Amino acid sequence: MNKIIGFCLTILFSASTLAMPDVKFSDVDLKQSNQLVVFIDSTEELKGSASTVNKHTNGQLLAAIKASNATIKLGSTKTFYGLTPYNQVTVVGTGKSPLTQSQLQDIGGAAIAAMPANGKTVISILTDNLTTQVTDAESWIAMGAAMRDYHFDKYKKADAKTEPRKLVVQSNESQKATAKYQGDLAHLVKGIYLARDMASEPGKSIYPQAFVERVEDLFDDIKNVDIDVLKVKQMKKYKMGALLGVGQGSIHDPRMLVIEYNGADDDSAPIALVGKGITFDTGGISLKKNTGMWAMKSDLSGAAAVAGTMLAVASRGEKVNLVGVIPLAENMPSQDAIRPGDVLTTMQGTTIEIMSTDAEGRLILADAVRYAQDKYKPSMLVNIATLTGSAVRALSDEYAGLVTRDWALTQKMMDLGEISGESVWPLPLHPNHFTQIESPIADIKNSGAGNPGASIGAAVVATFIDKDLPWVHLDIAGVDWLETDINVAPKGSQGWGVRFMDQLVRENIK
């Protein structure tokens, strides 16, 4: 008997339930569905199940491919209807080269995007003819499909909501694929969904304490997790003047959410992940223009990515020690807001002259990275933030900006980006960048003269990083929110950084 193993996850947010697609794995059985997806690396001949489907259609599938403009370009799709006995057959191009981990996700996402939304019919994805060296390739395809099936329609009418799709991924290794997906990759998708949800919510719904409560709920039943929340009283105790300063213009007090996961069998130093969490960024007294300000609800994307990564790693029980430090504040103009020209004193004792209240992300990171180092003595620190428009102008939406102090570490991070599917590109950190942030009345300024804004932002954060600590700075301002669909995500929040940081964790436990 053909064995089908199913797995479905849901994420609960208040009264709203957002569901991941219903993913099952099975041995190859073409009778399970009359809506099929097959992969092709040639338009002249078909392999494996694609060849079998062609035989079942009396050669109509291959004839249709040849007569159409179907190509084998990676992620390209072409759908054919009425090829008896199937209602619908979609072919997805894989290219000629062996497929990588991220490319498997891409073709899985392309496959699901080509199928009808809200379809009641089960979609069968046939994966037995792929050229790849990746173990459990079917599970990575399922992950890509699940990532692409994301919808944020919480605030739409009931009849306008999109139901998650139902799919069966068929292969010759269904049990192994099920174990990999259920025990690992589905948790990673859940973390990505969390990050996307948080960045998609209106600023009215997500403020510092609301962020804390929603994330805390998701960790209730996960082992080896300790959560601490620093409120204003504790921040004052630690003299976190930068974080307090950014948040003092809002009716919502700032918070610092700390998620500690101790999954290793020893007391080894953790990896620290620090994410910028500006729950809404008006620019403060240095008020932004109205055009596009609505998108500043996603200025917490770095924080959301850290929360999503922590959720993924802890849920699968990874053998690693990991800590997520998430500073949260709402940057608002008011009679209590900080002004340009003000001076803030950080936890480190370093004073910062405020040149622009809209350069606030580096301020809250200053106290957060100092706290992470002093409290946890990490083996590595990664900070992630929607930090600068300069990163967008330099790298557009193809790459996140990457700054380290070590070229070997830079190269390793670029490799991780290629593997994970979230690419990074290095930006410089020159001694002159530190000169540019010298202040005549304080230790440093929060922005400097000249054009290299992304590097200047990194230099401010670097001022608070111990020089002998492996440090990775990620500026995701250009990649966290896209206006067009990509293979693994609909337009909107990408949840960028969850896959990258998750891959970093995987590499550091090998």
Count of C-beta atoms within a 10 Å radius of residue 242: 32
**3-class DSSP state of 261:** strand
Residue 502's closest CA among 307, 263, 225?
307
C-alpha distances in Å from residue 224, one per residue of 221, 263, 303, 310, 456: 10, 6, 21, 12, 38
- Choice among 154, 166, 288, 506 that is catalytic: 288
**3-class DSSP state of 162:** coil
**3-class DSSP state of 450:** coil
Q: Are 327 and 238 in contact (CB under 8 A)?
A: no
Q: What residues does 79 pair with on adjacent strands?
A: 90
H-helix segments, 377-427: 389-395, 407-420
Give dist(CA 344, CA 445) in Å, integer: 10
Give dist(CA 97, CA 92) in Å, integer: 15
Please count the residues of the chain.
510
Both tokens of residue 70? Answer: 């179907």
Tell me phi and psi for residue 297, to 5 degrees.
-65, -20
DSSP H or E run through 112: helix 101-113
Place of tokens 């990588």: 100
| Active-site residue, 288 included | yes
| Active-site residue, 362 included | yes
- Mark 266-299 as b/e (b = at least 16 C-beta within 10 Å): eeeebbbbbbbbbbbbbbbbbeeeeeeeebbbbb
Q: Which runs of E-coded beta strand occur in 400-504?
A: 400-403, 424-426, 444-445, 471-475, 481-482, 492-493
| One-letter amino acid of 204 | K
C-alpha distances in Å from residue 466, one per residue of 296, 381, 446, 463: 31, 10, 19, 8
Q: Are 64 and 88 in contact (CB under 8 A)?
A: no
- Choice among 316, 362, 370, 499 that is catalytic: 362
| One-letter amino acid of 186 | A
Active site residues: 288, 362
